[in-house]
Amino acid sequence: MNGLSTTLIVVGLFLVGGIISFVKQGLPKSVIVLLGIGAAMCLTAGLMRAEGLWS
């Protein structure tokens, strides 16, 4: 796992924490959905770049 994949995974997890916080605060659903899409994209990209994970 290189630095970029680790960074993408950490950013994705940070955004997931933001989603949890925003849901508790009762922010609009559109903001939460947008944050969820970003978190999913970061986590997916980080896991796909983690070539050492599967080889």
Residue 52 confidence (pLDDT): 63
DSSP code per residue over 1-51:
--HHHHHHHHHHHHHHHHHHHHHHHT--HHHHHHHHHHHHHHHHHHHHH-G
Query: Residue 53 and residue 39: Cα distance in Å, rounded?
Result: 20
Structure tokens at 39: 């978190």
Q: State the pTM of this model.
A: 0.84
- What does the pLDDT look like over 7-47, one tens digit per residue? 999 999 999 999 999 999 999 999 999 999 999 999 999 98
